Amino acid sequence: MAKMLAVVLLPLLILTIITAVDFSKSLTSYINTYAIAEQIDFGVKLGGFLLALQKERDMSSLYLSQIGLDSKRELLLAYPETDGALDNLSSWPVSPSNKQKQYQSREHFVNFLNRHRYELDSNNATATAEINFYSQTIEIFIKWMYDSVSELDTGTIWKTLVGYQELIIASEYIGRERGYGIYYYATGAFMDRKHYLLFLESQDSARTHFASARMYSVTASDIYHTTLDAQNQTMRVINDLREDIKANNSSVSEGSLEKAKRWYANMSIYMDVMKSAQKMLTAKINGLLKNNSNADMKEMIIAGVIFSGIVIISPLIIMFVYKLTSNIQKYSSNIAKKTKAVNREKKQSEAVLFQMLPRTVAEDLKQNGSFNAEHFTECTIFQSDMVGFTQLSSNSSPFQVTDMLNTLFSCFDDRISIYDTYKVETVGDGYMVVSGVPRRNGVRHASEIATLSLDLLYHVNKLELPHLSGERYKLRIGCHSGPVVAGVVGSKNPRYCLFGSTVRIAALMESSGETNKIQISHSSYSLLSAIGGFEMEERQTMTVFMKDELKKNNCPETTYWLIQKEFQDWEGYSTISDASSFGYSF
């Protein structure tokens, strides 16, 4: 069916792709044009905000120069203008890549700026420090504007956009020049060569960026020749004041508020020219964007009509072909579903079987349909019991008992996965593990079970009962080595079971043991002594019942306590999982 559909749909698909690509290009161009328009609008608002910051910078440096009675009032009037321009921004302009906390959001910046204002008098700030503070802040906003515009696909209007950016930067350097000039006239002279050079650098940078703007934008060049030519008197005054500042021959004793204001007023006219140029460039860019937007919209309409026709016709063709091949497809689909269902059920059955039986036994049972009992000449069996479980169960709810056993056995399951052992069964609070069955491992089974016993005793001693804070689990552990017979018992719910006196002796070692101790039989003791590396001591007192049971099963009437394994750091041996997942409390 797929081949038949491919023959019919291939031409339609090719045509659809061509139309979709054309439509996508038109849509992308339209969206990009809209994004640029929004960016330009935001740039105008950002320019207003930068002008307000520049004015606040000048008023702040003038106030700190400590001349004039109304400089403080003018500074306080500048604060609301800056706040209003900041609120007028439609989004927060600073890039998220900026790691400085005060620029991460509008709220952080407002708090940062207000704190600077409040601490203006208490921090003994200087006029030049204020100029540096505001200039660094303005640089961050300008950098964001550079980054955001450079990410846009501006097409044929990129030169005008570059000219627009250069005008904004030129305005900033003019603002810095205005600020250093205010500082000069307010204090009477530049106090050091650094600030004198900063004034000259600001002046030269402003000229450079304005020249760059005129080079990239004819509009900026026209504004320069028309507007500034009409302000000849203002430019002559500015140039005279610049020469006065460059000379740096004023008296250090006192500044002049009148000259500072004169400088500020004339430079503000110069900055207004820059602002007018920005507005005219904005209007020109918007006009270009509108033309591009109309052209993109026309292309989208044409592509949309073609695409719609394909979308309408294609389903009819597909439906016709589909009806011809639907019966075959349904038949194949039904077979595939049934095959998947059978395979899924088979995998689920195998997964359950592998959980109930050792993998080798399960594979044998799956292939042959039965499993013959097998004799193992040597193995070691571990049996444990939770001390006080009956009393705890009678004083706990069923849910608490379940949670208590789940915590304990989860710890057990986690630890035994490290060793060459197999969990045989859990009955109530009892837990049986064997090594050497069903996989023979020589005499290593004794050391595997011994190490596991010490490992479990260490980790379980760190566990707290979930519903009894401060109370810890207590275990009795018994181990015995000997022969067993292993086989699968049951058909509906098969279980892998161990039979023989070895199982009974292991149970005796557990039941006759003591709290938080590991009791091992003489056979296990002999194997561990031969292997070496384990510290053991003989049990001194034994009950008559224990001796009788050991005698009945032809075992020596001596048992031992397994104390520790030499050079073993259980703390560093916790590699399988995080202890906190089982409630460990170290």
Give the pLDDT confidence of 271-288 residue by residue, as tens digits.
787 777 777 777 777 777
Q: Which residue has the higher pLDDT, 379 or 578?
A: 379
Residue 579's pLDDT band, with cuts at 50, 70 and 90, is very low
Torsions phi, psi for 517 (to 5 deg) = -130, 160
CB 512 within 8 A of CB 389: no
DSSP codes of every residue in 570-584: TTTT--SS-GGGGTB
Q: How confident is the model at residue 153 (pLDDT cuts 50, 70, 90)?
A: low
CA–CA separation, 134 and 73 (whole Å): 19
- Which one-letter DSSP state was computed for residue 103? G
Distance of CA 391 to CAs 209, 383, 478, Å? Answer: 88, 20, 21
Average pLDDT on 334-363 reads: 73
Q: Among residues 105, 116, 115, 103, which one has the least CA distance to residue 57?
A: 116
The Cα 143–Cα 150 span in angstroms is 11
First to last CA, the chain: 65
Tens-digit pLDDT profile for residues 357-366: 676 676 666 6
- Which two structure tokens, joined as six digits, stand for 463? 């566990």
Task: Supply 171's token pair.
Answer: 């305005």
Q: Which residue has the higher pLDDT, 218 or 65?
A: 218
> What does the pLDDT look like over 40-58, one tens digit per residue?
777 767 777 887 888 888 7
Confidence category of residue 349, pLDDT binned at 50, 70, 90:
low
DSSP bridge partners of 65: none
pLDDT (mean) for 540-548: 87
pLDDT of residue 577: 36
Q: What type of residue is 373?
A: A
CB 101 within 8 A of CB 147: no
Query: In this predicted model, which residue has the larger pLDDT, 119 or 493?
Result: 119
Question: Which pair of structure tokens corresponds to residue 331?
Answer: 């038949």
Q: Closest by alpha carbon to 382, among 561, 560, 520, 516?
A: 520
* Domain residue limits, the chain: 2-148+156-306, 359-582
The better pLDDT of the pair 584, 314 is held by 314
Q: Residue 395 and residue 109: Cα distance in Å, rounded?
A: 60
For the stretch 281-335, pLDDT in tens is: 777 777 777 787 788 788 878 877 887 887 788 777 777 777 777 777 777 788 8
Strand partners, 489: 495
Token code pair at residue 552: 């009945």
Given a cut of 60, whether residue 586 has pLDDT beyond it is no
Average pLDDT over residues 218-246: 79
Most confident residue range from 105-114, 312-321, 334-343: 105-114
pLDDT tier at 583, thresholds 50, 70, 90 = very low
Q: Which amino acid is at 440?
A: R
Q: What average pLDDT score do residues 428-439 get?
A: 88
SS3 231: coil
- Sequence-ordered list of residues with C-beta below 8 angstroms from that of 572, at least 6 positions apart, any chain: none
- What values do phi and psi take at 326, rounded to 5? -65, -40
d(CA 17, CA 370) in angstroms, rounded, equals 61
Annotation: CATH topology of 359-582: Alpha-Beta Plaits (3.30.70)
Whether residue 346 is predicted with pLDDT greater than 50 in this model: the reply is: yes
User: What pairing do the DSSP bridges indicate for beta strands 495-499 and 475-489?
Assistant: antiparallel
Radius of gyration, alpha carbons of the chain: 44
Residue with tokens 């000229």: 207
Structure-block tokens of residue 1: 């069916």
User: Strand, coil or helix: what is 560?
Assistant: strand
pLDDT surpassing 70 at residue 253: no
pLDDT at 95: 64
**Separation CA 489–CA 495 (nearest Å):** 5
Compute how many other C-beta atoms are within 10 angstroms of the C-beta atom of residue 44.
17
